[in-house]
Chain A
Amino acid sequence: MSVNLLQGLVNGILAGGIYMTIAVGINLIYGVMHIVNYAHGEVLMVGMYIAYWLFTLAGVNPYLAIPIVAAILFVFGVLLHKSVIEPVLDLPLQRQILIFIGLIHVFQNSVMILWSPNYRSIGIPITRESIRISFIRIPIGRLLALIIALASALALHYFLKNTKIGKFIVATSQDPEASSALGIDIRKTRTLTFALSLALTGIAACTLSPIYFIFPYTGTGFNIFAFIIITLGGLGSYTGAIVGSIIVGLIESLVCLLSDASIATAVAFLVFILILLFRPSGIMGRRE
């Protein structure tokens, strides 16, 4: 039993790591611009397709493709921000949601037209292995995803705290007017933030592509989890995203272990609603 429990904990933390990769990106955008990127999972899906094609056509290992995919999505982020996101920023929530649902449709269906709805996967040997510590197994693919997610989160943290541009981003998220008065170009900072967030998603896409199926609706499932996690942790809160993803991952895996797999997600989300009642702005969120 105790071994099972330990395995459950490990699985939960690994699942949390996967959610974390996406949640951190959405939260970065929310912190600076106060909009939720509802189409973030779809960007992840596009990133996974890029990794897939790099692997299939050029034989690039997905883990080595990280800089390429991140760079492509960075440029894509600049374009997307300039064309769609920037004009939306000051609109009411309803219209933002309409535009993002539109974006989801465009992403999913253009990928469907280009590459058909077939399931695809990247088969590299390392992701089929797992590390064994006595009775506990740790799948290497998931472990790598967790490590890379943590590493990129730490790198982001370092970037925000210690570089000039990072400090611009933090200042803009704290008070746009004041930072504008201090000579920070808010528009540029926002574009950069959005592109940076998409580049982070590109990193996540590379680590997830060997362990998940790649198809036009991959993003939807991740999307819902990411929304719940960032709201649980507190929208815009950096630590909140990490704490939230570990909580959701752990609850899910433990419920799976102790009772029933089909109800695991439901229980995790129920806990989310209950926590929301006591902390209406999430665990680490600022009161607005």
Chain B
Amino acid sequence: MSKADPRDYLTRNRYLFYIPIVILFFIPLLPIPIYVMHVLVLSLLFAYLCTSWALISGFAGQVSLGHTCFYGIGAYTTTLLFHYYGLTPWIGGIIGIAFSAIFAFILGYACFRFKVRGPYFTFATLASTVILEGLFVSQSQITGGELGIEMPYIGSPLYFQFTEKTHYYLVILVLWLCVLFLSRRIQNTKFGYYLFAIREDEDAAEACGINTTKYKIFALVLSAALTGFGGVFHSQYYLYITPSAVYGLDRSFQISSTALVGGSNVWFGPSLGSFLINPIVEWTRATYGGTIYTLPLMIYGLLMILIGRFLPEGISGIIQRLISYKREKDTQKGRS
């Protein structure tokens, strides 16, 4: 290995990795148009949601197509508590997260305890989303039904409401970084290895003495709690929620497909997918909106088919392959 190898330099000076993160924190100081800021917030929100989704669906391989039920619980708990009791969303949000986690525990315990697996689990999550959507639509005296419910605007940080988009940006940035580091930690701990074992072969993992039910439930609850806070953020960012906006299956499918395009088996994969796809989709929406808006979506669909077919680990798989290829080459050089 040559002395000037940049990789070697990076391994010795780990703090260099933190430079892009610091730059992200200073972006709001730049004169960025509000719309671009909105796209950034949206990308970060999806990066956050997809990374949370990947904890259960990527790491543990239990594909959920109904993650919006946790998202919606978080959003509705906060909004309803604020609307009726004037409780600040900071506390309401924590209660929302707790409700999401409890719901995930019930669903996870029910499904995993009774060995509901593979497509059966996927459809159980799908059904629970539809159930919650129906429930919130039907209780229209409380939730406003299909028309949704508004969050009274106060505009005070004490109530998780800001006057500037940049403040929302900073909040979601911190959240995303937290979940990213959490995901990275999990990948390198015993818990993560258990989940990978469950993904590869559940029966074999159980035969090795891993309590698969327990770890799957734990992964689901963790993922749901994080997703729940995404919902809290949604309710504060848009200040208006409807059952179809927070529980809608579109969002569920979007979370899964974005994460899978990026590659859901690595900690940075889902974020990669989100930062790649959301700006492109938003840009095409702004540019071709109303005329051939659907054409970019069709191309996106084709892209998904191609990625699913030819890239086993999504886009992050390419990066990983490049790294491992380089490493192999280096070790070969070292031997000769």
List residues of A whose CB falls within 8 A of some B CB.
36, 84, 87-88, 91-99, 101-106, 108-110, 112-113, 220, 224, 227-228, 231, 235, 260, 262-267, 269-270, 272-273, 276-278, 280-282, 288
Contact = CB atoms under 8 A, between A and B. Distances in A.
A266 B312 contact: no
Contacts of A280: 114-117, 120
Nearest to A272: B127
Given A91-B308, A105-B297, A235-B120, A269 B127 contact: yes
Nearest to B200: A92
13 contacts: A36-B119, A94-B57, A94-B61, A98-B256, A99-B305, A101-B304, A102-B302, A109-B301, A112-B294, A227-B123, A263-B134, A263-B138, A280-B115
B52 to A, nearest CB: 16
Contact of A266 (B123, B133, B249, B295): B133
B120 A102 contact: no
A273 B119 contact: no
Interface stretch (B18-26, B42-50, B257-265, B326-334): B257-265
Contacts of B133: 266
B126 interface: yes
Contact of A231 (B123, B135, B308): B123
Given A93-B118, A277-B114, A99 B308 contact: yes
A227 B57 CA distance: 19
Contacts, number: 147
Given A102-B305, A266-B134, A94 B127 contact: no
A277 B116 contact: yes
B307 interface: yes
B190 interface: no
Contact of B292 (A95, A108, A113): A113
A44 to B, nearest CB: 17
Contacts of B300: 102, 105
A93 B256 CA distance: 12
* Chain A contact residues: helix, strand, loop or mixed: helix
A228 B305 contact: no
Nearest to B135: A266
Contact of B116 (A94, A103, A110, A276): A276
Nearest to B125: A273
B134 A265 contact: yes
B321 to A, nearest CB: 16
A104 to B, nearest CB: 7
Interface string B244-268: 0000010001001100110010000
Interface in B91-109: none
A227 B118 contact: no
Interface string B46-73: 0000000000011001010100000000
Given A97-B256, A102-B305, A231-B123, 9 more contacts: A84-B305, A91-B308, A102-B302, A224-B249, A231-B119, A264-B134, A266-B135, A277-B116, A278-B114
A109 B309 contact: no
A113 B298 contact: yes
Contact of B301 (A104, A220, A278): A104
A270 B131 CA distance: 7
A105 B304 contact: yes
Nearest to A277: B114
Contacts of A265: 130, 134
B232 interface: no
B123 A88 contact: no
Contact of A88 (B57, B257, B309): B309
A260 B57 CA distance: 34
A287 to B, nearest CB: 9
B305 A266 contact: no
A92 B111 CA distance: 20
B298 A110 contact: yes
A210 to B, nearest CB: 27
B186 interface: no
Contacts of B260: 94-95, 97-98, 101
4 interchain residue pairs of minimum CB distance = A105-B301, A266-B134, A102-B304, A99-B308
Contact of A97 (B65, B116, B134): B65
Contact of A113 (B110, B295, B305): B295
